[in-house]
């Protein structure tokens, strides 16, 4: 007997027939004698709908700003998971399985106070474990917990992945299975490149880069938690027949295992390509070239919680003035410009220019550590397709390139093919 956490995303619980299908996956593991905690997302599209309602309800007359109370945002958007948890518990009960739903506060899953983007601080798994002893299946709402103010707090979009891994860590589960609408982690988003291949394993480090550079198959924080707590995490499909041969294989279920680097036998130089749309580029022209300028620009950005990503500073031509370019998510441009304007006098720059609609494409692979020329290959391949590069950043295991949005798909496919990722 083992203890398993099974997480089902929005498309997997999009309607009652799909929830019934999810219940069959759960039944398979129960029949095999395992203790099971299920974590569910809201039905596909539901969270977006709830977010739109929040924005609509909080619109102030005569103002283009849309400021709202993050605690009430959480109260509204967390409701989608409450519905699916209850429905799955009902379907399981109708199949003769002892099951009950749990909301974040009932367990409790304790978070910090950052409403809308809260971090899980602690999970008390004792009640769940006691109920396992009584043969009960726990169906847990993903995406939510309870903050220090005793109010519901949500974990940021895609947060049910994090709920699942955190619950698995708290319960010392033997496995955490993330069921979604693809049958694993691919070399790139299979929606953009049909030639993408499924990876049987990917290292925590690479998965962390893939997720933070745009591959939304797992929320970044869930990968961090899996890495730190050594949770054996698989990404697999909920759409396969729950009773097909091999689906219940305990050690080698179908899908992608996220694991330590040394568990991967044949390491490729490049493992995957990720992309993030809706990036914006902001340039400060003729900035004073003196110590403290970067701190003067990016300090206030950090205080305003604006996520600055790629930063490029030009060499000053005359020794006194330079240009500084950086990227932020498009949604943060207005706030970033306001912060810059406020600090214009102390920073000292001439003009600020901005452009939205950029895409960041990234090449990821642990093998890059020991191979030269990986970046040059990308630059050459993009040049051959006439794709202009606006900014570049690199780390030990990734290269990120900023390009104009309309070239995103072409760039992803070009890079995917130039590193041979479409070949077996
Ligand atoms: P869920 O609702 O189950 O959480 P998501 O939509 O959040 O599912 O994540 C699954 C989606 O992630 C897939 O449909 C796929 O389009 C996308 N995706 C992006 N990059 C990758 C990748 N490298 N491998 C697999 N899926 C990816
Ligand atoms: N329902 C939430 C969202 O759409 C959480 C999740 O699906 O992981 O972001
Ligand atoms: Mg998701």
Kindly state if the Cβ of 255 falls inside 6 Å of ligand 2. Answer: no
Better-scored residue on pLDDT, 230 or 268: 230
User: How far is 357 from 359, CA to CA, in rounded Å?
Assistant: 7
Average pLDDT of every residue of the chain: 95
Kindly state if the Cβ of 13 falls inside 6 Å of ligand 2. Answer: no
Whether residues 219 and 296 fall in one domain: no
* pLDDT surpassing 70 at residue 232: yes
Residue 95 CA to ligand 2 centre (angstroms):
27
Whether 424 is in a domain gets the answer no
Q: Note the pLDDT of residue 267.
A: 79
Residue 235 CA to ligand 2 centre (angstroms):
16
Per-residue model confidence as pLDDT tens digits over 136-151? 999 999 999 999 999 9
Whether 314 is in a domain gets the answer yes
Residue nearest to atom 6 of ligand 2 (CA): 158
Kindly state if the Cβ of 157 falls inside 6 Å of ligand 2. Answer: yes
User: How far is 336 from 321, CA to CA, in rounded Å?
Assistant: 22
Kindly state if the Cβ of 325 falls inside 6 Å of ligand 2. Answer: no
Whether residues 276 and 221 fall in one domain: no
Whether residues 231 and 119 fall in one domain: yes
Burial class for 294, CB neighbours closer than 10 Å (0-12, 13-18, 19+): middle
Whether residues 49 and 195 fall in one domain: yes
Q: How many domains does the chain have?
A: 2
Whether 278 is in a domain gets the answer yes
Whether residues 349 and 407 fall in one domain: yes
Q: In a mutational test of the pocket of ligand 1, which residue from 182, 186, 210 has the highest number of ligand atoms less than 8 Å from its CB?
A: 182
Whether residues 387 and 287 fall in one domain: yes
For ligand 1, what atom is nearest to the CA of residue 184? 25
* pLDDT surpassing 70 at residue 65: no
Segment 110-129 mean pLDDT: 97
Whether residues 237 and 357 fall in one domain: no
Find out whether 324 and 311 touch, Cβ atoms under 8 Å. Answer: yes
Among the residue ranges 58-62, 65-69, 364-368, the one predicted with the least confidence is: 65-69
The pLDDT-based confidence of 125 (bands split at 50, 70, 90) is: very high
Percent of all residues in the chain with a pLDDT value above 70, rounded to a whole number: 99
Whether residues 205 and 312 fall in one domain: no
The pLDDT-based confidence of 195 (bands split at 50, 70, 90) is: very high
Main-chain dihedrals φ then ψ at residue 53, nearest 5 degrees = -65, -40
pTM: 0.94
Q: Which ligand ends up closest to the CA of 197?
A: 1
User: How far is 142 from 38, CA to CA, in rounded Å?
Assistant: 9
Whether 27 is in a domain gets the answer yes
Kindly state if the Cβ of 47 falls inside 6 Å of ligand 2. Answer: yes
Whether residues 205 and 280 fall in one domain: no
CATH of the domain at 303: 3.30.2130.10
Whether residues 157 and 288 fall in one domain: no
Whether 125 is in a domain gets the answer yes
- The domain boundary residue, chosen from 242, 262, 282: 262
Q: Note the pLDDT of residue 290.
A: 87
Residue 154 CA to ligand 2 centre (angstroms):
9
Residue 216 CA to ligand 3 centre (angstroms):
6
Pocket of ligand 1 (CB under 6 A): 9-12, 41, 158, 180-182, 185-186, 188-191, 210, 215-217, 272
Whether 154 is in a domain gets the answer yes
Q: Which ligand ends up closest to the CA of 159?
A: 2
Whether residues 121 and 236 fall in one domain: yes
The pLDDT-based confidence of 424 (bands split at 50, 70, 90) is: low
Q: Note the pLDDT of residue 64.
A: 60
For ligand 2, what atom is nearest to the CA of residue 9? 7
Residue 261 CA to ligand 1 centre (angstroms):
22
For ligand 1, what atom is nearest to the CA of residue 9? 3
Per-residue model confidence as pLDDT tens digits over 24-62? 999 999 999 999 999 999 999 999 999 999 999 998 887
Residue nearest to atom 8 of ligand 2 (CA): 158
CATH of the domain at 55: 3.40.1160.10
Better-scored residue on pLDDT, 1 or 258: 258
Q: In a mutational test of the pocket of ligand 1, which residue from 180, 195, 272, 365 has the highest number of ligand atoms less than 8 Å from its CB?
A: 180
Q: Which two tokens stand for residue 150?
A: 């005793």
Q: Note the pLDDT of residue 268.
A: 86
Kindly state if the Cβ of 80 falls inside 6 Å of ligand 2. Answer: yes
Per-residue model confidence as pLDDT tens digits over 282-339? 999 999 888 888 999 999 999 988 999 999 988 887 888 899 999 999 989 999 999 9
- The domain boundary residue, chosen from 238, 262, 286: 262
Q: Which ligand ends up closest to the CA of 180?
A: 1
Whether 147 is in a domain gets the answer yes
User: How far is 112 from 118, CA to CA, in rounded Å?
Assistant: 6
- The domain boundary residue, chosen from 228, 262, 296: 262
Whether residues 233 and 309 fall in one domain: no
Whether 267 is in a domain gets the answer no
Percent of all residues in the chain with a pLDDT value above 90, rounded to a whole number: 89
> What is the span of the domain harbouring residue 97?
3-262
């Amino acid at each position: 007997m083992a203890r398993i956490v099974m997480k089902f995303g929005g498309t997997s619980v999009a309607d009652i027939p799909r929830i019934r299908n999810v219940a069959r996956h759960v039944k398979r593991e129960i029949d095999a004698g395992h203790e099971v905690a299920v974590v569910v997302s809201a039905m596909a599209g539901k969270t977006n709908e709830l977010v739109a309602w929040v924005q609509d309800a909080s619109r102030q007359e005569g103002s283009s700003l849309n400021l709202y109370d993050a605690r009430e945002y959480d109260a509204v958007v967390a409701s989608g998971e409450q519905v699916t948890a209850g429905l799955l518990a009902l379907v399981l009960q109708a199949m003769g399985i002892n099951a009950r739903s749990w909301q974040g506060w009932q367990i409790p899953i304790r978070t910090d106070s950052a409403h809308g983007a809260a971090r899980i601080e602690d999970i008390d798994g004792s009640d769940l474990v006691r109920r396992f002893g009584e043969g009960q299946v726990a169906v847990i709402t993903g995406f939510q917990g309870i903050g220090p103010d005793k109010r519901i707090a949500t974990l940021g979009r895609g947060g049910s992945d994090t709920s699942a891994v955190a619950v698995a860590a708290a319960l010392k589960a033997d496995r955490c299975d993330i069921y979604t609408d693809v049958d694993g982690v691919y070399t790139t988003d299979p929606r953009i490149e049909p030639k993408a291949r499924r990876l049987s394993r990917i290292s925590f480090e690479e998965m962390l880069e893939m997720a933070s550079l745009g591959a939304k198959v797992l929320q970044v924080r869930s990968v961090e938690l899996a890495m730190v707590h050594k949770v054996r995490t698989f990404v697999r499909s909920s759409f396969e027949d729950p009773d097909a041969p091999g689906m219940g294989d305990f050690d080698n279920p179908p899908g992608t295992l996220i694991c330590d680097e040394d568990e991967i036998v044949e390491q490729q130089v490049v493992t995957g390509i990720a992309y993030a749309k809706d990036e914006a580029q902001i340039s400060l022209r003729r900035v004073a070239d003196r110590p403290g300028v970067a701190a003067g620009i990016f300090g206030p950005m950090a205080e305003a919680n604006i996520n600055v990503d790629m930063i490029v500073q030009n060499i000053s031509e005359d020794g006194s003035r330079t240009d500084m370019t950086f990227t932020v998510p498009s949604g943060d441009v207005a706030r970033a410009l306001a912060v810059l304007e406020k600090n214009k006098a102390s920073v000292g720059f001439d003009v600020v220019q901005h452009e939205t609609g950029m895409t960041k494409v990234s090449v990821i692979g642990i093998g890059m550590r020991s191979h030269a020329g990986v970046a040059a290959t990308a630059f050459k391949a993009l040049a051959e397709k006439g794709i202009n590069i606006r900014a570049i950043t690199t780390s030990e295991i990734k290269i990120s390139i900023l390009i104009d949005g309309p070239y995103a798909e072409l760039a992803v496919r070009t890079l995917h093919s130039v590193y041979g990722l479409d070949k077996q």
